[in-house]
């Protein structure tokens, strides 16, 4: 019985440890020379505060729909905010005429295709998604 309890506690510990595992990967067009990005840089890009890549190409972020679980995970991890808080940010920015929200695509496959066909595009997809035709960036803390 003690072995069973010990095993049960170990399994719960392992599951809890994996709860914070990253569920997404960040992708860019193959022509993009960028190899890695920090979460702070991701935040700047997806808030449209960083507008160009180092080579001068305009950055075009693409996101999942508001109700997508992956968007909630990305928002929490990159912005440390909920999707609702980010929607409020964009509503204020749009209303004041300062910016427009990133492009939204409904599926991982459509995000990959968008990034593949737009030189300055950056997006995120689930870790299980095939990213043939685009480049996956290393995410630094």
User: Is the confidence at residue 25, as pLDDT, over 70?
Assistant: yes
pLDDT in tens, 102-116: 999 999 999 999 999
- pLDDT (mean) for 28-50: 96
- The pLDDT, as a whole number, for residue 2 is 54
Report the pLDDT value the prediction gives residue 106, as an integer from 0 to 100.
97
CATH number at 22-140: 3.40.190.10
The two three-digit tokens of residue 86, written as one number: 């980010």
pLDDT given at position 36 = 96
Q: What is the pLDDT of residue 4?
A: 44
Domain-wise residue ranges, the chain: 22-140
Half-sphere exposure of 14 (CA within 13 A, CB side): 6
Q: Is 68 exposed, middle or buried (0-12, 13-18, 19+ CB in 10 A)?
A: middle
């Amino acid at each position: 019985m003690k072995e069973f309890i010990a095993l049960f506690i170990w399994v719960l510990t392992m599951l809890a440890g994996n709860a914070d595992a990253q569920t997404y990967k960040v992708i860019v067009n193959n022509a993009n020379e960028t190899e890695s990005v920090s979460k702070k840089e991701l935040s700047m890009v997806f808030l449209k505060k960083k507008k160009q890549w180092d080579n001068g190409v305009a950055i075009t972020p693409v996101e999942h729909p508001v109700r997508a679980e992956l968007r909630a995970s990305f928002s929490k991890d990159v912005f440390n905010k909920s999707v609702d808080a980010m929607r409020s940010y964009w509503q204020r920015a749009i209303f004041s005429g300062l910016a427009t929200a990133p492009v939204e695509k409904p599926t991982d496959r459509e995000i990959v295709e968008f990034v593949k066909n737009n030189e300055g595009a950056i997006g995120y997809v689930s870790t299980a998604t095939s990213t043939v035709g685009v480049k996956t960036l290393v995410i630094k803390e």
